[in-house]
A and B are shown apart, each in its own frame.
Chain A
Amino acid sequence: MYNLLYKELRLAAHPNLFVFTLLGALVIVPAYPYGMVFLFGCLGPYITFTYGREINDIYYTSLLPVKKRDVVKSKVALVVLSQMAQLVISLPFALLRLRLLPEGNPAGIEANVAYYGFGLMVYTIFNVIFLTHFFKTGYRVGWSFLWAIIPATLGVLLMEIVVHFPQFAWLDSVEGAMLFRQLPILLAGILVYILGTAIAYRVSTKRFDIVDL
């Protein structure tokens, strides 16, 4: 597993994957729709998968002493690593903005507990559709991305819009009590992400197993 991930990072990952992962820091921008961060977390894997097709990465991996399903494992691990790294990178900036910009984000949701819960759900929507669609063929990246990014974007829009309604104002808060109230959304996000990624992996391996390279 470690070797597969090392191969992904050293040979298969497009430089933009690292750039988009670093964009977790965008939550320090005073007024910005922070939901964009999650879409960047989807864009990075898309560019890397496209790049992987051009450099024949799947072919090379398949010829190494690994099972065919390890090709899927390798890619899923890279996507999860980049998205989790993006969230971890964003955390100190989310804390920093509480001190530097206490007046809040006028453009959309705050980088609060609910935000991270929604973000994990957005990632899950993208991963499940993108990965399972891509591994039907091992090369159709563009369509897979299109099918996945539309519902993921709708999810982000929903999150950004809903916080403008007074009855959902608690979702936009960074006060202690409200953050506690948001906790179930984060827990639901974590659960959905774990389950969704596991399903995406299982379905993708089944599909990729019968793909002719």
Chain B
Amino acid sequence: MAVLSVKGLTKRYDNFTLDGVSFTLQPGRIMGLIGKNGAGKTTTLKSILNLVRADGGTVEMFGRDFLQNEQQCKQELGVVLGGIDFYSHKRLSSITEVTRRFYTNWDEQAYQKYLDMFELVPSKKVKELSSGMKVKYMLALALSHNAKLFILDEPTSGLDPVSRDDLLVLFRELVRDGERSILYSTHITSDLEKCADDITYIKDGKLVKSADKGTFIESFQYLRESGEDRPLSLEEIMIRTERRGYDV
């Protein structure tokens, strides 16, 4: 059974339309959602989470309609919205004390384990954490309520290469047992070369392709120029697909 199944997701704004995006995420896999800035990655994730009200389409999470079963689905969901700080003047211990009350599966021992593992200090305030540590704190919360699906919006943007690599290793570890899955939006395609199993590519609000990484890369090799014999990377695929000319 698919962990997440998105069908025909549509959201219309005055100057932008997310147009019938569909993809499926299987258990134990990391899916990279790629596209340039403004392509609709965040709108897709927010529409999935009902933070943005979609004009069309359906979202099934753990085999259930998300809108009809929002509370139950969220019990098994962990979300990291990159670049958004929550309660920056509050201590981690205060946020945890509130958060744990909402989850029926909260595991305090697991929480303590992940605090130690990620070297998080509960008495620290959110504003005292680095960007990477903020992501890790949100992951620690999600892991402590036994989340099965992690939706991450640009979690590695703005991080130094070492912190990014650290998180990518962590993401691979999270899905290793085949029980958890990650949907992860980014425009840093090199990260996905390292850790993604599947790629979903959105351009100007439309789905270009969603497939496992090998098939995805293979399907864009027609973009190779004469004399090129090595396979194109994700970055080259994106650049060549998005490239446009200027008549100045």
CB-CB under 8 A from A57, the residues of chain B are 86-87
Decide yes or no whether B103 CB sits under 8 A from chain A: yes
Identify 17 new A-B residue pairs, CB closer than 8 A, beyond the known A57-B87, A63-B49: A6-B101, A10-B98, A11-B87, A55-B87, A56-B84, A56-B86, A57-B86, A59-B81, A62-B50, A63-B79, A64-B102, A65-B75, A66-B74, A67-B70, A209-B53, A211-B53, A212-B51
Report if A210-B98 is in contact (Cβ < 8 Å); known contacts: A56-B86, A59-B84, A59-B86. no
CB-CB under 8 A from B241, the residues of chain A are none
Decide yes or no whether B217 CB sits under 8 A from chain A: no
Q: Are A3 and B101 in contact (CB under 8 A)?
A: yes
CB-CB under 8 A from B70, the residues of chain A are 65, 67-68
In angstroms, how far is the closest chain B Cβ from the Cβ of A189?
34
Residues facing B in A32-74 (CB within 8 A) are: 55-57, 59-60, 62-68
Q: Are B50 and A11 in contact (CB under 8 A)?
A: no
Number of B interface residues at 8 Å Cβ cutoff, please give it: 29
- What separation, in Å, do the CA atoms of A7 and B99 have in the docked complex? 8
- What separation, in Å, do the CA atoms of A64 and B71 have in the docked complex? 8
Report if A11-B46 is in contact (Cβ < 8 Å); known contacts: A3-B101, A55-B89. no
Decide yes or no whether A213 CB sits under 8 A from chain B: yes
Q: Contacting A11 at CB < 8 Å: which of B53, B94, B103?
A: B94
Q: Smallest CB-CB separation from B46: which chain A residue?
A: A213
Q: Are A210 and B86 in contact (CB under 8 A)?
A: no
Q: Smallest CB-CB separation from A59: which chain B residue?
A: B84
In angstroms, how far is the closest chain B Cβ from the Cβ of A11?
5
Q: Contacting B87 at CB < 8 Å: which of A60, A210, A213?
A: A60
- What separation, in Å, do the CA atoms of A211 and B53 have in the docked complex? 7
- What separation, in Å, do the CA atoms of A212 and B50 have in the docked complex? 9
| Total inter-chain residue pairs, C-beta < 8 Å | 69
Q: Are A6 and B98 in contact (CB under 8 A)?
A: yes
- A192-209 interface code vs B (CB 8 A; 1 in, 0 out): 000000000000000001
Q: Are B98 and A65 in contact (CB under 8 A)?
A: no
Decide yes or no whether B90 CB sits under 8 A from chain A: yes
In angstroms, how far is the closest chain B Cβ from the Cβ of A118?
36
Interface residues on A, range: 20 to 34
Interface residues of A (CB under 8 A from B): 3, 6-7, 10-11, 55-57, 59-60, 62-68, 209-213
Q: Contacting B102 at CB < 8 Å: which of A3, A56, A213?
A: A3
Q: Smallest CB-CB separation from B151: which chain A residue?
A: A63
In angstroms, how far is the closest chain A Cβ from the Cβ of B18?
12
Q: Are A60 and B86 in contact (CB under 8 A)?
A: yes
Q: Contacting A212 at CB < 8 Å: which of B52, B79, B81, B85?
A: B52
- What separation, in Å, do the CA atoms of A65 and B100 have in the docked complex? 11
CB-CB under 8 A from A11, the residues of chain B are 87, 90, 94-95, 98
Residues facing A in B97-127 (CB within 8 A) are: 97-99, 101-103
Q: Are B87 and A7 in contact (CB under 8 A)?
A: no
Decide yes or no whether B88 CB sits under 8 A from chain A: yes
CB-CB under 8 A from A209, the residues of chain B are 53
In angstroms, how far is the closest chain A Cβ from the Cβ of B53?
5
Q: Contacting B46 at CB < 8 Å: which of A66, A67, A212?
A: A212
In angstroms, how far is the closest chain A Cβ from the Cβ of B17?
14
25 A–B contacts, CB within 8 A, in A order: A3-B98, A3-B102, A10-B97, A10-B98, A11-B90, A11-B95, A55-B85, A55-B87, A55-B90, A57-B86, A57-B87, A59-B51, A59-B81, A60-B86, A62-B49, A63-B49, A63-B74, A63-B81, A64-B99, A64-B102, A65-B70, A66-B102, A67-B70, A212-B52, A213-B52
